Chains A and B, each alone.
Chain A
Amino acid sequence: MPAPKTRSSLGRALDLKHGRIDLAHGSGGRAMAQLIEELFARHLDNPFLAQGDDGAVLPGADGRLVMATDSHVISPLFFPGGDIGSLSVHGTLNDLAVMGARPLWLSAAFILEEGFPLADLARIVESMGEASRVAGVPIVTGDTKVVERGKGDGVFITTTGVGSLPPDRDVSGRHARPGDVVLISGTLGDHGMAIMAARENLGFETPIVSDSAALHGLTEALFASGARVHTLRDPTRGGLATTLNEITRQSGVGIVLDEAALPINPAVAAACEFLGLDPLYVANEGKLLAIVAPDDADAALAALRAHPLGARAARIGTVQADTHRFVQMTTTLGGRRIVDWLNGDQLPRIC
């Protein structure tokens, strides 16, 4: 929803309907101040940001802190289920959540390309504000730069987050142990296929919607169940297969997946089939991978399923001792195969 024109101390209000970013918006002068006041401050409003200084003064936090950062470049900027704004909030929140942290604050840095429509920017910033409010984590400081036309791709957003880590939590990709159980919080590949369908203008009858969501509520529910959580990850780029290969390498173990147990939306499965892609390698932006002690698997699964983001959670595999650190899968057919690292981009088959 484009914002209405607002009265401004800086002269004529920003034209949020037809206006475009120009180099002045990044030059530190009045135009930049106006952009910050009428667009960023308006949608991201909170007391820390309202301090209006070069940095935000934050209250001290006890114990250990976790810090994570994530840059977001995506085409298209708007897609079913989200946009680069909400995605940039969720991405960093999820990096904190899978460390076991409770997110506290976010920062956001924008690189804008000259000529970028202000209406689109307003939509993106509004969506960031909404995502940050829903998550309960304010964006307390930020930065904006403008690059010449042709030197950016519309808008790039980098967010950084800080969270507090409760003393009893110690999750890491290094902590998977033979016998542990592998859980996933829901269906695989929704985000990646939503992007691909939007990018390639693939008009599937059933629209595929990105799963972009903040996961810290789900991780809190998991910890509250008392389950001994060894490893948490959000399988983004490269999908579940890539994440599992990272974990087996870090922990020095193998993992065996059960293909029949993998939750996949029928529309995503069909789109992957159609394009010759494997949903195991397709990105997610709102899924939690949890590796838990075997005795706690049932409690952990129940906790995930009781949360709105984990309704389709499933037990999908087991950690085993394996000096080769292979991720393997028992196929629906009853055979066995490796689920390997992806090599470059996933490519459709020709023949």
Chain B
Amino acid sequence: MKYIDEFRDGALARKLGADIARAADPRRHYHFMEFCGGHTHAISRYGVADLLPANVRMIHGPGCPVCVLPIGRVDQAIRLALDHGVMLCTYGDCLRVPASDGLSLLKARARGADVRMVYSSADAVALARQHPDRQVVFFAIGFETTTPPTAVAIREAAALGLGNFSVLCCHVLTPPAMTAILEAPASAGGVPLDGFVGPAHVSTIIGSAPYAFCAERYGKPVVIAGFEPLDVMQAILMLIRQTNEGRAEVENEFVRAVSHEGNRKAQALVAEVFVRRPDFEWRGLGTIPDSALGLAPAYRAFDAEARFPVAYRSVADHKACECGAILRGVKRPQECRIFGTACTPENPVGSCMVSSEGACAAHYTYGRYKDA
């Protein structure tokens, strides 16, 4: 496959692996966080860690949309479907996220809730048009990548005057989460990071400019990388070089898709439809100010939280679940007591075990032979 196979080439990978081994200073350790679940998935799926020297450790970050979704948000979606009888449309990954009372959207469906899996927000709008007698709610989750399509759906619903369509808006923002990780003191479980592999798809929307604060304020290099394994390896090499040279810059490995300013049209669309929520609870990272989006006043009529009485209630994670520490990079999946025993992809306790982008699911699915 052209433009794909080139980025999965074994010979190039071995060469890059050798370059990384040469560049890495054997007297020190390197801790880099790949923020995105897409990178976590690529690292696990292609066995990238096998090609890195022992003193280069990748820490799996929180950039997995369903992983950072707190239980209380899934509860809201379930209440909408079960108590308010709406047709709840969501991306497939959300269906199995464990919520309160042993429920998930999938289990709610078995109890009679009308939960539909959609591939895009446009499918949800189409369902609203097909079922004018039903209230249709799109459970909108994800980082900056999935936000513009939600904006398009809301604008379309407004243009069509669809009174039966609304959005449970749980879109979150990448830079505030990176700040939260960098601000976490060591005593609170913060990890000493040497730099970030920066988001791929998110950066196609927001550009490389918004990461400048990492370099300028925190002295941490960021290398934006594509989601292919060679992209990730090249980014790791660039991070090692920056670290060795004492540089902290935002570099862009993913030049074939990411520009400095990003996608202006998408940004304008998002700015028109959404406003920042004053704060938002993240799973594992706690409540972070200015870190999520809600609907702008002009589109408030399409806000499911305004249309239905489903106030957000914060719910504590399962006591034994270490998703929080894992999302902050403090613990590795295999260090969680219930990893692979009580918590498996079939019966996830924590959200990191749900999505294939989650650190626990990725390690369980692709890497656990190493623990055996």
Instruction: Answer yes or no: are A and B bound together in one complex.
Output: yes
Residues of B within 8 A of A260 (CB): 10
Residues of B within 8 A of A350 (CB): 65-66, 91, 93, 141-142, 145-146, 355, 357
- The interface-forming segment of A118-126, A176-184, A323-331 is A323-331
A316 interface contact, C-beta 8 A: no
Residues of B within 8 A of A326 (CB): 369, 372
Interface digits, A324-350 against B, CB 8 Å rule (1 contact, 0 not)? 101010011111111010011101111
Contact indicator A335/B50 (Cβ below 8 Å): yes
Contact indicator A331/B46 (Cβ below 8 Å): yes
Interface digits, B351-372 against A, CB 8 Å rule (1 contact, 0 not)? 0000111000000111111001
Interface digits, B62-97 against A, CB 8 Å rule (1 contact, 0 not)? 011110000000000000000000000001110010
- The interface-forming segment of B37-45, B272-280, B296-304 is B37-45
Residues of B within 8 A of A200 (CB): 119
Contact indicator A270/B10 (Cβ below 8 Å): no
Measured between alpha carbons, how far is A348 from B357 in the docked complex, in Å?
11
A134 interface contact, C-beta 8 A: no
Interface of B is mostly: helix
B223 interface contact, C-beta 8 A: no
Residues of A within 8 A of B49 (CB): 335
Contact indicator A334/B14 (Cβ below 8 Å): yes
Measured between alpha carbons, how far is A334 from B233 in the docked complex, in Å?
13
Using A273-B1, A332-B9 as known contacts, say yes or no to A347 and B47 having CB atoms under 8 A apart: no
Closest to B361 in A: A343
**Count of chain A residues with a beta carbon within 8 Å of a chain B beta carbon:** 26
Contact indicator B372/A324 (Cβ below 8 Å): yes
Closest to A336 in B: B47
Measured between alpha carbons, how far is A340 from B368 in the docked complex, in Å?
10
Residues of A within 8 A of B65 (CB): 350-351
What's the least CB distance linking A349 to chain B, in Å? 6
Closest to A335 in B: B47
Residues of A within 8 A of B37 (CB): 349, 351
Using A269-B1, A326-B372, A334-B13 as known contacts, say yes or no to A349 and B356 having CB atoms under 8 A apart: yes
Contact indicator B46/A349 (Cβ below 8 Å): no
B294 interface contact, C-beta 8 A: no
Interface digits, B1-37 against A, CB 8 Å rule (1 contact, 0 not)? 1001000111001100100000000000000000011
Measured between alpha carbons, how far is A55 from B158 in the docked complex, in Å?
62
What's the least CB distance linking A50 to chain B, in Å? 46
Using A333-B46, A351-B143 as known contacts, say yes or no to A338 and B368 having CB atoms under 8 A apart: yes
Interface residues on B, range: 35 or more
Residue of A269, A343, A351 contacting most chain B CB atoms (<10 Å): A351
What's the least CB distance linking B368 to chain A, in Å? 6
Contact indicator A340/B356 (Cβ below 8 Å): no
Contact indicator A332/B8 (Cβ below 8 Å): yes
Closest to B96 in A: A344
Interface digits, A8-31 against B, CB 8 Å rule (1 contact, 0 not)? 000000000000000000000000
Using A332-B8, A333-B229, A335-B46 as known contacts, say yes or no to A270 and B1 having CB atoms under 8 A apart: yes
B271 interface contact, C-beta 8 A: no
Using A328-B369, A331-B45, A338-B369 as known contacts, say yes or no to A351 and B36 having CB atoms under 8 A apart: yes
Interface digits, B139-153 against A, CB 8 Å rule (1 contact, 0 not)? 001110110000000
Q: 11 additional contacts, CB 8 Å, given A270-B1, A335-B51, A351-B63?
A: A273-B4, A326-B369, A331-B45, A333-B230, A334-B51, A337-B45, A337-B46, A340-B365, A349-B355, A349-B357, A350-B65
B residues adjacent to A (C-beta < 8 A): 1, 4, 8-10, 13-14, 17, 36-38, 41, 44-51, 63-66, 91-93, 96, 119, 141-143, 145-146, 201-202, 229-230, 345-346, 355-357, 364-369, 372
19 pairs, CB–CB < 8 Å, chain A vs chain B: A266-B1, A270-B1, A324-B369, A331-B46, A331-B47, A334-B51, A335-B48, A336-B47, A337-B44, A337-B47, A337-B366, A338-B368, A348-B91, A350-B93, A350-B142, A351-B38, A351-B146, A351-B201, A351-B202
